[in-house]
Each structure stands twice: as structure tokens, then as C-alpha cells.
């Protein structure tokens, strides 16, 4: 499916959700034809809000761009939540009427009837869920993971690595998010900071200010990044410029020794091939690793290559957002077995998939948590098995 087809499909789906909302509202709210036309026009603008916001941003109107983009995404999420809750309340209301849980029909008529009750309940519930989803998207969590393994050299014991992933700096995710990330890094003081792709999106607001904030983040042993699919969607040249300007060393199938005890390996996202660019395979990149070090593979998608399993001790990935918005989590789990969290592959190998530091598209999350992940490496002496 092409990007244009995907966008068109989303617009059509949103139009259908808006028709459903207006159909439900028409039975409750009665307005004249002029007001109805105005409402349809407003809804049409809200459906196209992110696209209009992108156009405004390119033409030097950043405040209007942010406002239009946020309004469009907010309304889209509201009508989606309204659709889901309204269906549920209709089923419950219909069953309740049949079983007379709500008393005689005459009693319901006095409060506007079941149709009115269901519509108002759905609006209130959807609005509440939307506010909670926005709160959850902004509540950036620090997740701590201890990596205890004989594969960790004694020299690397206590090394702290901070992972950000899928920040998606954009019209709705900007300098405030960058400051939050930088503040957390200032408190945690990691030895290494890594970004596992999708650091930015199209139509980023004030990229140069964001660059300066990220560039100031301290990391004793350096900051490293790999590309995700959105670096290519956003324009790979600008994405590479931004990432480097933010202080990250980009790894394109490269292996670098960090602190003489850790080897970081980074590979580009597979989307590179779709853009006609050469991509070093996982096996080719891992072959460059220094023997005897703790080997970490930075790879945007949480796909594990069996050919490198014995050579990689820890793979850090992202991409999934853990679905970002439940129940999409259930679909993502089917597509990516390593959906979110730490998965031990064998005694000396594991993969960690971040839920993402930011959001893609709508700046909302529901029953998923944005995260910065703090890994602490611990050396564990090998014990000899009894004879």
C-alpha cells in the first residue's frame, strides 16, 4: 500500500466516523440548514486538520500549524472513541430496555429517552478518555532494566545506557518534549545515550531549537543513533542532518568500541532499500564487532536475525509503540512477537523493545506508556556446573 493510498484510506475512515457522529447528533440536536452546513464545513476542516497544519507550517505560520494539527488529531480521536462507546452504550441500552432494567419506558421519556441518554453518555465517556489519553502521552516514564550476564565484562560493570526511541518530533511534539527528555538525562547521567530510530517526523516545529536542547545532553561515552522508517518518510537528508546536529553519531552498519568493553552496532531500517539505498545486513554489521566485548545491536524494528543471535548480547529496538492506543496493541502483538519490554532469547542474548518516547500521528496514548529506558549492565561471574 502506497503512502497516498494510506492517507486516502484514513481520510475516508474519518469521514465515515464523522457521518456516524452527525447522524447520532441529528436525533438529539435540531438545527437549521445554515447551521448544519457550517457544522459540516468545520468538521471537514478538522478531518483535514493535520494536512492543513502541514501546509501552514511550510508557509511560515507555526502557531496556526500546531493549533490546526492538534485540533484535527483531537477531533479524529474523539469521534473514534465516540463511535466505540456509542455502540457499547446502544447495546447496553437496548438490552436494558428489553429487560426493563431502567424501569418503564415512560420514565425514560421524561429524561429525553434512551437515544438522548446514550448520546450524552457516549460524548462524556469519549471526552474523558481523550483527556486521559493526552495525559498518558505526556507522562513520560523512566523504566529501569538491569542486564545481569556473564557476557558483561567486568570493565563494563555499572555502565548505564539510556535509550530513547520513536520520539517523532513534529508539529505537535516539539521543544517541551525535548526539554523533558534532556531534564531526565541530566538527572540520570547515563554513560551512553542511544536513539533507536524515528527521532523525527515531517513538519517538525522549530528543529534548530530542538537540536540545541538534545545536543546539550551529557553522555560520557557518547550518543549514537540509527535510522527508523520515518527518517526516510521525512526526507532522509534532512533527517540525517538533524540527528547529527543533535549530537548523535549515526551508525549505518557500523560497529564502534565504547569504553574498550562494549561494542555498539547499528543498522539502518529496512526502509532504506525501498528508497534505493544500500543497507548493510545485520550479519555484515555484526561481523565487524570486536570479540570479547559486550555487543549491543541498535535496530529500529524488533526483528531478531537468527544468524546473529550468538554474536549479539542485547538488541535495542522500538517501532511498535506497543500499539500506542489500545486495542491496537492486540494487532501489534500479532505483527511483532517482541512487542514491548525485555525478552530473554537465551542465556547470553536478549532483545528489548521500547514502547516509544513520543507518539506517532495523534499525540495521544491509551493504556500504553511513553518511556525513556535506563539500562544498567552488571557483570555476573560464570559458575562451574558440578561434575
- pLDDT number for residue 111: 46
156 and 90, same structural domain?
no
Q: Is residue 56 part of a domain?
A: yes
Q: Which residues of 52-71 are buried (b: 16+ CB within 10 A; e: fewer)?
A: bbbebbeeeebeebbebbbb
Residue 360's domain spans which residues? 142-379
What separation, in Å, do the N-terminal and C-terminal C-alpha atoms of the chain show?
59
289 and 157, same structural domain?
yes
Query: Could you tell me which residues come within 8 angstroms of residue 232 by beta carbon, excluding any fewer than 6 positions away?
Result: 239, 269, 271, 272, 274, 275
Cβ pair 51, 10 in contact under 8 A: no
- How many separate domains does the chain show? 2
191 and 110, same structural domain?
no
Q: Is residue 386 part of a domain?
A: no
Q: Domain boundary at 101, 136, 171, which?
A: 136
Q: Is residue 341 part of a domain?
A: yes
336 and 289, same structural domain?
yes
- The span from the CA of 340 to the CA of 7, in Å, is 27
89 and 28, same structural domain?
yes
315 and 186, same structural domain?
yes
- The span from the CA of 262 to the CA of 250, in Å, is 17
Provide block-wise average pLDDT over 10 residues at a time, the chain (387 residues).
67 86 82 83 86 84 89 93 92 72 52 77 95 96 95 92 96 94 97 96 88 95 96 92 97 90 94 86 88 91 88 95 90 92 90 96 93 95 56
- pLDDT number for residue 101: 59
127 and 160, same structural domain?
no
310 and 198, same structural domain?
yes
Q: Is residue 385 part of a domain?
A: no
- pLDDT number for residue 386: 47
- The span from the CA of 138 to the CA of 252, in Å, is 31
123 and 50, same structural domain?
yes
Q: Is residue 247 part of a domain?
A: yes
Q: Which three three-digit cell numbers place residue 120?
A: 450524552
H or E element that contains 280:
none
Q: Is residue 203 part of a domain?
A: yes
Taking the model in full, what pTM does it have?
0.89
- The span from the CA of 240 to the CA of 225, in Å, is 10
Task: List the CATH number of the domain containing 221.
Answer: 3.60.21.10
Residues paired with 194 in a beta bridge? 163, 224
Query: Could you tell me which residues come within 8 angstroms of residue 41 by beta carbon, excluding any fewer than 6 positions away?
Result: none
Backbone angles phi, psi at 39, to 5 degrees: -65, -45
Q: Is residue 151 part of a domain?
A: yes
Q: Is residue 289 part of a domain?
A: yes
- The span from the CA of 312 to the CA of 306, in Å, is 10
Q: Domain boundary at 136, 162, 179, which?
A: 136
Q: What is the largest CA-CA distance in the chain?
A: 89
Query: Could you tell me which residues come within 8 angstroms of residue 283 by beta carbon, excluding any fewer than 6 positions away?
Result: 305, 307, 308
- pLDDT number for residue 121: 92
361 and 221, same structural domain?
yes
Q: Domain boundary at 118, 136, 154, which?
A: 136
CA-closest candidate to residue 75, choices 44, 32, 105: 44
Q: Which ranges of the chain would DSSP assign to H, the alpha helix?
A: 3-26, 33-47, 49-58, 62-99, 105-109, 113-138, 175-188, 207-215, 229-233, 236-245, 271-274, 282-286, 328-335
179 and 116, same structural domain?
no
70 and 21, same structural domain?
yes
Amino acid at each position: 500500500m502506497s503512502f497516498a493510498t494510506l492517507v486516502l484510506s484514513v481520510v475516508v475512515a474519518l469521514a465515515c466516523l464523522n457521518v456516524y457522529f452527525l447522524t447520532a447528533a441529528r436525533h438529539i440536536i435540531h438545527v437549521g440548514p445554515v447551521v448544519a452546513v457550517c457544522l459540516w464545513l468545520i468538521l471537514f476542516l478538522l478531518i483535514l486538520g493535520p494536512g492543513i497544519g502541514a501546509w501552514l507550517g511550510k508557509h511560515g505560520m507555526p502557531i496556526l500549524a500546531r493549533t490546526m494539527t492538534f485540533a484535527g488529531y483531537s477531533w479524529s480521536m474523539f469521534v473514534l472513541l465516540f463511535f466505540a462507546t456509542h455502540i457499547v452504550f446502544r447495546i447496553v441500552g437496548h438490552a436494558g430496555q428489553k429487560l426493563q432494567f431502567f424501569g418503564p419506558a415512560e420514565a425514560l421519556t421524561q429524561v429525553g429517552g434512551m437515544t438522548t441518554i446514550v448520546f450524552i453518555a457516549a460524548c462524556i465517556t469519549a471526552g474523558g478518555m481523550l483527556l486521559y489519553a493526552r495525559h498518558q502521552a505526556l507522562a513520560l516514564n523512566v523504566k529501569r532494566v538491569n542486564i545481569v550476564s556473564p557476557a558483561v565484562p567486568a570493565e563494563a560493570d555499572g555502565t548505564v545506557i539510556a535509550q530513547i526511541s520513536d520520539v517523532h518530533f513534529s508539529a505537535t511534539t516539539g521543544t517541551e518534549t525535548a526539554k523533558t527528555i534532556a531534564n531526565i538525562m541530566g538527572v540520570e547521567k547515563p554513560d551512553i545515550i542511544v536513539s533507536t530510530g524515528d527521532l523525527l517526523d515531517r513538519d517538525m516545529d522549530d528543529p534548530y531549537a530542538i537540536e540545541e536542547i538534545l545536543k546539550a545532553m551529557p553522555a560520557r561515552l557518547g550518543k549514537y543513533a540509527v535510522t527508523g522508517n520515518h527518517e526516510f518518510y521525512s526526507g532522509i537528508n534532512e533527517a540525517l542532518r538533524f540527528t547529527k546536529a543533535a549530537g548523535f553519531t549515526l551508525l549505518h552498519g557500523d560497529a564502534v568500541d565504547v569504553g574498550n568493553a562494549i561494542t555498539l552496532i547499528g543498522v539502518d531500517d529496512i526502509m532504506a532499500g525501498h528508497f534505493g539505498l544500500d543497507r548493510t545486513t545485520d550479519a555484515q554489521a555484526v561481523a565487524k564487532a570486536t570479540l570479547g566485548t559486550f555487543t549491543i545491536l541498535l535496530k529500529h524494528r524488533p526483528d531478531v536475525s537468527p544468524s546473529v543471535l550468538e554474536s549479539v548480547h542485547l538488541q535495542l529496538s522500538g517501532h511498535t509503540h506497543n500499539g500506542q492506543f489500545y486495542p491496537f496493541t492486540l494487532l501489534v502483538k500479532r505483527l511483532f512477537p517482541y512487542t514491548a519490554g525485555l525478552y530473554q532469547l537465551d542465556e547470553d542474548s536478549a532483545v528489548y523493545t521500547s514502547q516509544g518516547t513520543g507518539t506517532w500521528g495523534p499525540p495521544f496514548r491509551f493504556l500504553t506508556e511513553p518511556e525513556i529506558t535506563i539500562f544498567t549492565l552488571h557483570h555476573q561471574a560464570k559458575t562451574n556446573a558440578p561434575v
